[in-house]
Every structure is written in structure tokens, then in C-alpha cells.
Amino acid sequence: MVGLKPSDVPPPLGVKVLSAGTAACIADLVTFPLDTAKVRLQLPKGGFCSDAIEEPFWVPQKKLSVNSS
């Protein structure tokens, strides 16, 4: 037969993008919990770093008032 065999035809762009996105999601689902566990194992027994800030960054900070005298 003349023509390309199914194994010789490259996948279209949409299939490549979809498979790359799926592979990235699977890799993230595997590595993120492992990285979280690694970091928690490296922390002291209290679970927090001694140099850590006391409040998370999303907590509104107290505004300083300036007294005009």
C-alpha cells in the first residue's frame, strides 16, 4: 500500500498539548505531597521554624498612627 502507516503519522498539535498538560498535572500531583512531607520532616518538632513570622502575610498589619503635634 502507498501512504503513511498509522505509526508514521505524528499526533496533531491538540493531542500533544493535551498529553503534555496531563503529564504536568500528574507530575504535580505526585511531587507536591512529597515535597510537603520533606519540608515538614525538616522542621523542628514544633512544626514551625523558630525564625518564622508570627502572623501570616495575609493578616492585616496594624497601622502606625502619626501624632501631629
Q: What is the pLDDT of residues 3-29, one digit of tens each?
A: 667 777 889 999 999 999 999 999 999
Question: What residues contact 67, with CB distance under 8 A and at least 6 apart?
Answer: none
pTM confidence score: 0.49
pLDDT reported for residue 26: 96
**Residue ranges per structural domain of the chain:** 12-45
Give Cβ neighbours of residue 19 (< 8 Å, ≥ 6 apart).
Answer: 11
Residue 1 is classified by DSSP as: -
C-alpha to C-alpha distances, 52 to 47, 48, 49, 57, 67, nearest whole angstrom: 11, 7, 5, 11, 31
Model pLDDT, residue 5: 73
Cα–Cα distance measured from residue 18 to residue 22, given in angstroms and rounded to the nearest whole number? 6
pLDDT tens-place string over residues 24-69: 999 999 999 999 888 888 887 655 555 555 555 665 666 666 665 5
pLDDT of residue 4: 63
